[in-house]
Chain A
Amino acid sequence: MAEPLLAVESLVKRFGGLVATDHLSLAVEPAELHAVIGPNGAGKTTLIAEIIGELGVDEGRIRFDGHDITHRPTPVRSALGLARSFQVTSLFPDMSALDNVALAVQAHSGHSFRFWRDARADASLRDPAHDVLAQVGLGPRADVLAGNLAHGEQRQLEIAMALATKPKLLLLDEPMAGMGTEESAQLVTLLKSLKRRFTILLIEHDMDAVFQLADRITVLVYGRAIATGTPDAIRANADVRQAYLGEEEE
């Protein structure tokens, strides 16, 4: 079997006496949609920060696309093809949706000490930006200011900006958070359309969405991965039922 795209190997992170990540291992295969679930405080946010490089680790290794990135800074990981969407929407509210995505494209096309040519007439920025907006279903909303988009649309834009950097791995940090049923359903449809074309690591609270979308699911409890498997296997897993799913259903 080919090497996984992302391999988290026996990761440990301690905050004083608290072990936030406890010998956690996780592998994301190319083209897979891998979901991470777990109750509050299971260490999901910590895991993202470790993968993205905002938080150092005490033990273990993170390998990405053949590189050991355990100690590489965030921009380097971004350049290697790791892109994330933010849990709290973080956009350029006073710029158009298209400008938002074009900036993300620009971020990954060399330095920006170019002072004269009109960036808004630059096909090498605008065309990919239009493409990505169309992919996430925001094509008709390209000229609307990001701050005036509906909440669900802002999440779509957030994902578009991550896609615009042509990532090898897309890290989605609770994309459904704070969404209504209808908006969630739209986002699930969007993620289904991205599945296979992108490798996705999805951290999510919404169980329905996770079980609909994921190829494999890893369950985190107290910083440990207690199970990894297909949605069916996870549903049937006794440990998971007891530690997590059971609690939710009560």
Chain B
Amino acid sequence: MLTNRRFVAVASFLVLLALVPLLARFVGGEAFWIKFATRVMIYAIAAVSLDLILGFGGMVSFGHAAFLGVGAYAVGILSAEGIANGFVQWPVAILASALIAAAIGAISLMTRGVYFIMITLAFSQMLYFLGVSLTAYGGDDGMRLANRSRFPGLIDLSGDVTFFYVVLAILIGALVAGHRLVNSRFGMVIQGCRSNERRMRAIGFPTFRYKLAAFVISGVMCGIAGALLANLTAFVSPSEMHWTRSGEIMVMVIMGGMGSLFGPVLGAAGLLVLEEILSSHTQHWQAILGPILVLLVLFAKRGLFGLIDGKSAEKPAGLTGHG
């Protein structure tokens, strides 16, 4: 249900994004800007994946960075073992994220509300410490990859511009797939669960399996972002799984606008740009970032993307947030 205004906003943002490699040539610092924009898009994919379950499904996963780590480590470990072939690395990253999301989801989704938040957080911290303990793969310090994933006969990712456009294509793919998903029958079930899960069961939906499927889809999407992240920096470290990273992804979603799919892309860009600007002026940049976020949450309840409409959407009277 994109309004025209929103569609124009999304299209122009994506076009502008696609022009970054060209624009950067005039601004200077080309390599930096291309890498920075690529990083924004990778976090945007992670934020979109979280929005699928947080914004649409009402599942407040506070451990989504775990899947960034799973995707990144799948690429990193295979690379360290001498398997640089992307046709192996990426499917393994997807499969590993799916399996781990299924396991974490199956247990976490038996709980609700604050307990769900705590359990997802606990699982991601477990994976974080697992990463720290993997001394063979860099342990606490992380490890460097020899090179980016190789796709012989398909594409050479070693160039930053090529990699930029591959990530852009995957981001657009994630947005299109997400848009179809949330408006499909499956998406209606997920949104129904957010709105009133008891009622969903009463009208005959076995809600658990739908929520679990959504959790796995979201985990896989985030795992892909993790595989891309490992490729961007050719570096893998446990810090990608730290709970503060999960918090950042959640801030991106909330800042951009929960349940809007494209909002989290703006949120990712907004947060990373702010971080970049503020941290170049002062090392206490978080002290400035904090109040900005508070103001955003107070005055733009539907996030950055909500501002584009100008008016706040119709909201049912007396409807409070749902966890």
Contact = CB atoms under 8 A, between A and B. Distances in A.
A115 B186 contact: yes
A116 B198 CA distance: 26
B181 interface: yes
Contacts of B200: 103, 107
Contact of A106 (B181, B188, B196, B317): B188
A94 B319 contact: yes
B186 A148 contact: no
A132 interface: no
Contact of A112 (B1, B188, B318): B188
Interface string A89-125: 0111111000100111011100011111111101001
Contacts of B315: 94, 145
B199 A90 contact: yes
B186 A92 contact: no
A86 B203 CA distance: 11
B321 to A, nearest CB: 11
Given A107-B205, A113-B213, A147 B188 contact: no
A104 B188 CA distance: 11
Contacts of A78: 202-204
Contacts of A113: 186, 210, 213
B192 A92 contact: yes
Interface string A138-153: 0000000111100000
Interface size class of A (residues with CB under 8 A): 35 or more
A93 B195 contact: yes
Contacts of B203: 78, 103-104, 107, 161, 165
Contact of B188 (A90, A102, A146, A148): A102
Contacts of B284: none
B199 A108 contact: no
A93 B197 CA distance: 12
B291 interface: no
Given A95-B192, A103-B192, A147-B319, A122 B204 contact: no
Nearest to A75: B204
A122 B316 contact: no
Interface in B146-172: none
A207 interface: no
A233 interface: no
B183 A119 contact: yes
Contacts of B213: 113
A142 B50 CA distance: 31
Contacts of B180: 115-116, 118
A114 B183 contact: no
B196 A90 contact: yes
A79 interface: yes
Interface in A64-82: 74-75, 78-79
Given A75-B206, A95-B191, A148-B314, A114 B199 contact: no
Contacts of B319: 93-94, 147
A93 B199 CA distance: 11
B192 A147 contact: no
Nearest to A103: B192
B184 interface: yes
Interface in A3-58: none
B196 A112 contact: no
B145 interface: no
B204 A95 contact: no
Interface in B201-248: 202-206, 210, 213
Contacts of A74: 202
B314 A116 contact: no
Nearest to B194: A94
B198 A90 contact: yes
B311 interface: no
B53 to A, nearest CB: 14
Interface string B1-31: 1000000000000000000000000000000
Nearest to A120: B183
Contact of B210 (A90, A112, A120): A112
B185 interface: yes
Contacts of A102: 188
Contacts of A112: 185-186, 188-189, 205, 210
Contacts of A120: 1, 183
B264 interface: no
Nearest to A92: B195
Given A118-B183, A119-B187, 7 more contacts: A78-B202, A78-B203, A104-B203, A114-B185, A114-B186, A117-B184, A147-B317
